Chains A and B, each alone.
Chain A
Amino acid sequence: GENVEQHPSTLSVQEGDSAVIKCTYSDSASNYFPWYKQELGKGPQLIIDIRSNVGEKKDQRIAVTLNKTAKHFSLHITETQPEDSAVYFCAASMRQGGSEKLVFGKGTKLTVNP
């Protein structure tokens, strides 16, 4: 089955710096890769996603890149702000038994210091 590895587990940056979180996946059939932001005590919120037919996608300060050959994808946050502090999860789609589900990485706790 699919396995998603996420690094680093914790990341601390200064306000205004960039943050990069990387994920690798094992199933070459995966074709959908979302990123979620989870604040303490809340449900995950979709922040950006990318499909396998695209190599890069950008939405304001957030961008995601995908390298299908190497089976890895990354989240880039530029000009970080304290409100970006949260746990970020990457995920990869996996088809099993006729249904599609998401396999999540273990998460990265991002702290943006003012």
Chain B
Amino acid sequence: GAVVSQHPSWVICKSGTSVKIECRSLDFQATTMFWYRQFPKQSLMLMATSNEGSKATYEQGVEKDKFLINHASLTLSTLTVTSAHPEDSSFYICSARSPRVKLDTQYFGPGTRLTVL
């Protein structure tokens, strides 16, 4: 149980284009979803927290107009990287949480590798 999927698993795009990444909780309803980015050999950096039906809360230094987050349902959150640039290339990972599954525990997706040319 508590499976989280992401799509796509990897994506290559041209500079200036936008890319959408989906995060789904497959067997539970996630009250909260989180988006992280991870650079090679580094730790996870929280970008934003989103609750179903409300606006995402962004961490300091993360541009909300560049990283658009939509949490339209209890099983789906999307991250759109707008006007992507090479420096946005990274490993993006989502996680989901539900107190009905296990209080406080975040279950992570497999990640999405974004490469911006």
Among the 9-residue stretches B11-19, B66-74, B76-84, B104-112, the one with 4 or more Cβ atoms under 8 Å from chain A is B104-112
Q: Closest approach, in angstroms, between the C-beta of B96 and any C-beta of chain A?
A: 11
Is B104 in contact with A32, judged by CB distance below 8 angstroms?
yes
Contact residue range for chain B? 20 to 34
Please give me the residue from chain A that is nearest to B34 by CB atom: A101
Instruction: Return chain A residues, CB-CB under 8 Å to B6.
Output: 43
Among the 9-residue stretches A54-62, A64-72, A77-85, A102-110, the one with 4 or more Cβ atoms under 8 Å from chain B is A102-110
How many residues from A make CB contacts under 8 Å with B?
22
Instruction: Return chain A residues, CB-CB under 8 Å to B46.
Output: 101-102
Judge whether A8 is part of the interface by a CB distance below 8 angstroms.
no
Judge whether A53 is part of the interface by a CB distance below 8 angstroms.
no
Most buried by A among B32, B42, B104, B111: B104
- How many Å lie between the Cα of A106 and that of B93 in the bound state? 16
Binary interface encoding of chain A residues 66-102 relative to chain B, with 1 for a CB under 8 A from any of its CBs, else 0: 0000000000000000000000010001000101111
> Beyond A100-B104, A101-B49, is A106–B43 a contact (Cβ under 8 Å)?
yes
Which of chain B's residues 81-112 have a Cβ closer than 8 Å to chain A? 93, 103-111
Please give me the residue from chain A that is nearest to B94 by CB atom: A43
Judge whether A25 is part of the interface by a CB distance below 8 angstroms.
no
Is A93 in contact with B104, judged by CB distance below 8 angstroms?
yes
Contact pick for B111, options A41, A49, A104, A105, CB 8 Å = A41
Q: Closest approach, in angstroms, between the C-beta of A104 and any C-beta of chain B?
A: 5
Is B110 in contact with A43, judged by CB distance below 8 angstroms?
yes
- How many Å lie between the Cα of A32 and that of B44 in the bound state? 17
Q: Closest approach, in angstroms, between the C-beta of A80 and any C-beta of chain B?
A: 22
Interface residues of A (CB under 8 A from B): 32, 34, 36, 41-46, 49, 51, 89, 93, 97, 99-102, 104-107
Interface residues of B (CB under 8 A from A): 4, 6, 32, 34, 42-44, 46, 49, 51, 57, 93, 103-111, 113
Q: Can you name 11 A-B residue pairings with CB atoms under 8 Å?
A: A34-B104, A42-B111, A43-B93, A44-B44, A46-B107, A49-B105, A89-B44, A99-B57, A100-B104, A101-B49, A102-B106
Given contacts A104-B44, A106-B42, 19 further A-B contacts (CB under 8 A): A34-B105, A41-B113, A43-B6, A43-B108, A43-B109, A43-B111, A44-B44, A44-B93, A44-B108, A45-B108, A51-B104, A89-B43, A99-B32, A99-B49, A99-B51, A99-B57, A101-B34, A101-B49, A107-B43
